[in-house]
A and B are shown apart, each in its own frame.
Chain A
Amino acid sequence: MEHFLLSWTNPSLLALTAAGTLAGIWIGAIPGLSVTMAVSILVSFTFAWDLNAALAVIAGVFTGGVYGGSRSAILLNIPGSPAAIATALDGYPMARRGEAGAAIGLSTLASFLGGMVGVAALALGAPAIGEVAILFAPRDYLLLAVLGILLVGSLSGESLAKGLFAAALGVALGMAGLDPMTAEPRFTYGSVQMLGGIPYIAAMIGLFGVAEALHQLREPEALRATQRIGRIIPPWPRLKRHIPLTLRASGIGVGIGALPGTGGDIAALIAYDHARRGTRAPEVPFGEGAEEGVVAPEAANNAAVGGAYVPMLTLGIPGDAVTAVIIGALFVHGLRPGPLLLTETPHLFWFTVGNLALANVFLLLFGLAGARAFARIAEVPRAVLIPLILVLCAVGTFAIRNSMADVAWMAAFGVAGYLLRLYGFQMAPIILGMILGPLMDASWRRTVIAAGDSLAGAAAEAAGSAISLVLIAAIVLVLLRAALKARA
């Protein structure tokens, strides 16, 4: 309880969580600025900070950013983040009808409730999963990492082949430097500078920051019509009617968010579909401004935040691209997400739970109080925003180790990421591969060594373990599903 309440009672952590949530809403409200981009740039600035302070800001930005995407979706019909795509379907028609305030009020309250359900699921579910995860052998970590990469590669991209290529490329890049087991140089090509490996934070900023910013320049500046904001908090009977749907959508959000490789965007779309099918007589048809069409996706995408933390903290496998970046941040601070995190540093887990709950409270406060102010923020011109992001990418990368070599890596990854995106490659599998590559390599070698340097022996050991068999079955299912999808 003491750690749960730490960020609630410590003034500086309270302020940092508030600032992070505010910044997250601001970033999320701006079309084109993704939460992943914001967190990846932010991670570099928090490098020298106290861990709790860094986690407080990151949790705030994540929570606020997922919610903030609904602002521009409602007011401009431009989702601020992929998680707000479903919100635009009915949020914008509501705004056109003159009910922008009600749409914002409903989205804020649904996001808050969904976020709290997600935090509760994290608090209750993670320790249970963590207890099972302690039984994992090195081969199970390898299988889990493969599963996570496959899910990210197959769910988020154009094709499984491109997802796999990106992940394998990331794994190879992640192995550059001295081999941790034999100190043999790998992928260094005689360069002394390469012995330390490729800085993945610089790669992250390049792929998610620079590449994303350059891609934004390809899009024409959208025509933006300012909406009038009326009453924000709808009357109680109207709110009460939506509570059951909000809870059901939150459940969907938690479940989808906890699956490695999925995230708020998929959760929101599934919840929207659930609302559309489950609402027998909406006052306004779906697609024309149904309140249920705003409530369901907003509850689900914020519930998915808590859900995404579950596999990240218990298994060390990210739930989505943002948690992949947060894993990077934890590594930067010397932590290793996984089952041992819960047993060795339970205070950190409970701090994170408490902090996410606090971020949701700030989301509610800022979301309702700043409804009119955030409407203006969504209209910041891209002509100012994009160059500023590029400059911040340079500042953030330099801040990691005060090295211009890191800045050069960031620029190289930015250009490569821009080109790869043009050809339908996703950035998340590359980063995931870079982060999980060394873990996979070490787990692979430990597994093989334990089996007497024999692949057949390692396979036999896996066949005798229930956990390994479940993971192998999951991997086969993902591959089969991807193969069927490719044929369709």
Chain B
Amino acid sequence: MTTPARPPAPGEGLLPPLLLVPAAAAIAEGVRLDGLVSPSSPGAFPLIAGAVMAGSAAAIGARAWRRRGAARPVGGLAALLPSRVALVGGLFLAALAAMPWAGFHLPAFLLLLLSVRLLSGRGWLRAALVAAASVAAIHLVFRIGFSVLLPAGVLFR
């Protein structure tokens, strides 16, 4: 099933050259590993994968070139990264970055507290209750029920 026509996203014109970066990396790796010397070398398949990527990037670029001017990209950076996504995504990455030293529970609680408060627009108390209940449920189900290890961190050891 083909997805319906999508309006161009901001910066779509820059996409083909960007796609050539992983293609070039795969081709370079293929060449380094004798992909051009023998079809059964460790570099042969990386070379093929790189060539397919490069060909596809060229086809994507050609299609974008043909469609240029047909529709203008909608919005700017805000369309690419709306504030809700940026904030929750940022909080998520911050929580992950904190886990090696703060462990699982505190960063997860703070991530849930701030995200629920931000997304629901309701009070802090409600968000705190939801966050605490969620972290407690995860601990009970996964740590105790399934014996799954959670990031321990060094701060509270």
Q: A274 interface residue, CB < 8 Å from B?
A: no
Residues in B135-157 with C-beta less than 8 Å from chain A: 135, 138, 142, 146-151
Query: B120 near A444 (CB under 8 angstroms)?
Result: no
Number of A-B contacts (CB under 8 A): 182
Chain B nearest CB from A335 CB (Å) reads 21
Interface of A is mostly: helix
Nearest CB in chain B: distance from A184 CB, A: 5
Residues of chain B within 8 A of A179, CB atoms compared: 33, 42
Q: Could you say which of A62-70, A113-121, A404-412 contacts chain B?
A: A404-412
**Interfacial residues of chain B within 21-54, with CB under 8 A of chain A in the complex:** 22-23, 25-26, 29, 33, 38-40, 42-46, 48-50, 52-53
Closest chain A residue, CB of each to CB of B80: A422
Query: How far, in whole Å, are A448 and B84 apart by their CA atoms in the complex?
Result: 52
- A424 in the interface, Cβ–Cβ < 8 Å? yes
A217 vs B82: C-alpha distance when bound (angstroms): 9
| Cα A382 to Cα B29 with chains together (Å) | 43
A182 touches B116 (CB 8 A): no
B47 to A: closest C-beta gap in Å? 10
Within 8 A of A (CB), among B71-96: 80, 82, 84-85, 88-89, 92-93, 95-96
Contact of B111 among A48, A214, A391, A448 (CB under 8 A): A391
A392–B138 contact, CB under 8 A?
yes
In the complex, the answer to whether A386 meets B40 with C-beta atoms within 8 Å is: no
CB distance from B17 to the nearest CB of A (A): 13
Q: Is the CB of A395 within 8 A of B148?
A: yes
Q: At the interface with chain B, which of A155-163, A290-298, A351-359?
A: A155-163
Residues from chain B with a CB closer than 8 A to the CB of A411 are: 92-93, 96
Q: Does B19 contact A (CB under 8 A)?
A: yes
8 closest A-B pairs (Cβ-Cβ)? A383-B119, A387-B115, A383-B120, A165-B56, A161-B59, A168-B52, A441-B45, A179-B42
Task: Across the interface, name the chain B residue whose C-beta is closest to A454.
Answer: B39
Do the beta carbons of A444 and B44 come within 8 Å of each other? yes
A90 at interface, CB cutoff 8 A: no
Residues of B near A171 (CB, < 8 A) are 45, 49
Please state if B96 and A408 are interface contacts (CB–CB under 8 Å): yes
Tell whether, in the assembled complex, residue A158 and residue B3 are in contact, meaning their CB atoms are under 8 Å apart: yes
- A45 adjacent to B148 (CB under 8 Å): yes
Q: Which residues of B contact A (CB under 8 A)?
A: 1-3, 6, 9, 12, 15, 19, 22-23, 25-26, 29, 33, 38-40, 42-46, 48-50, 52-53, 55-57, 59-60, 63, 80, 82, 84-85, 88-89, 92-93, 95-96, 99-100, 104, 108, 111-112, 115-116, 119-121, 130, 134-135, 138, 142, 146-151
B42 touches A184 (CB 8 A): yes
A236 within 8 A of B: no
Complex formed: what's the CA distance from A388 to B137 in Å? 11
Residue of A nearest to B34 (CB): A184
Residue-by-residue, is A396-439 near B (CB-CB < 8 Å gives 1, otherwise 0)? 00110010100110010001001100111000000000000100
The answer to whether B92 touches A45 (Cβ under 8 A) is no
Q: Contact check, B50 vs A172: say whether CB atoms are below 8 A apart.
A: yes
Report if A169-B45 is in contact (Cβ < 8 Å); known contacts: A269-B1, A386-B115. no
A392 CA to B48 CA in the complex, in Å?
A: 37
Give which listed residue, A167, A168, A218, A404, contacts B99 with CB less than 8 A.
A404
Min CB gap B137→A, angstroms: 9
A218 and B82 in contact, given A172-B50, A383-B119 (Cβ under 8 angstroms): yes
B60: which A residues are within 8 A, CB to CB? 159, 161-162, 165
A448 touches B39 (CB 8 A): yes
A391 touches B112 (CB 8 A): yes
Contact assessment for A402 and B111 in the assembled complex, using a CB-CB cutoff below 8 Å: no
CB distance from B142 to the nearest CB of A (A): 6
* Smallest Cβ-Cβ distance to A438: which chain B residue: B45
* Cβ-closest chain A residue relative to B83: A217
Which listed residue (B1, B38, B55, B63) contacts A156, Cβ 8 A?
B1
How distant is A152 from chain B, measured CB to nearest CB, in Å?
12
Interface residues of A in 360-407 (CB under 8 A from B): 381-384, 386-388, 390-392, 394-395, 398-399, 402, 404, 407
Does A99 reach chain B (CB closer than 8 Å)?
no
Selected A-B contacts with CB under 8 Å, 12 pairs? A169-B53, A210-B92, A382-B119, A383-B116, A391-B111, A391-B112, A391-B134, A395-B148, A404-B99, A407-B96, A411-B96, A486-B63
Contact, CB under 8 Å: A390 / B151 = no
CB distance from A436 to the nearest CB of B (A): 12
Whether the Cβ atoms of A398 and B150 lie closer than 8 Å is yes
Whether B1 pairs with A162 at a CB distance below 8 angstroms is no
**How far is A386 from B118 in the complex, measured between Cα atoms in Å?**
12
Q: How far is the CB of A189 from chain B (nearest CB, A)?
A: 9
Q: Which of A48, A157, A383 makes the CB contact (< 8 A) with B3?
A: A157
Does chain B have a CB within 8 A of A440? Answer: yes
User: Does A477 interact with chain B (Cβ within 8 Å)?
Assistant: no
Using CB atoms, name the residue of chain A closest to B56.
Answer: A165
Per the bound structure, the CA–CA distance linking A165 and B53 in Å amounts to 5
Q: Does A140 contact B (CB under 8 A)?
A: no
Q: Which of B46, B48, B95 lies in contact with A186, CB distance below 8 A?
A: B46
A476 at the binding interface (Cβ < 8 Å) = no
| CB atoms of B96 and A172 under 8 A apart | no
Most chain B CB within 10 A, of A171, A181, A218, is at: A171
Q: Which A residues are in CB contact (< 8 Å) with B96?
A: 394, 407-408, 411
* CB closest residue in chain A, given B135: A391
Which residues on the A side are within 8 Å of B2 (C-beta)? 155, 157-158, 485
In the complex, chain B residues whose CB is within 8 Å of the CB of A382: 119
- Residue pair A175, B49 in contact (C-beta under 8 Å): yes
Q: A217-B82, A388-B134, A404-B100 are in contact. Are A159 and B63 (CB under 8 A)?
A: yes
A284: shortest Cβ distance to chain B, in Å?
26
Q: Could you tell me the distance in whole angstroms from the C-beta of B31 to the nearest C-beta in chain A?
A: 12
Complex-state Cα separation, A464 to B88, whole angstroms: 57
Across-interface contacts of A395 in B (CB, < 8 A) = 104, 138, 142, 148, 150
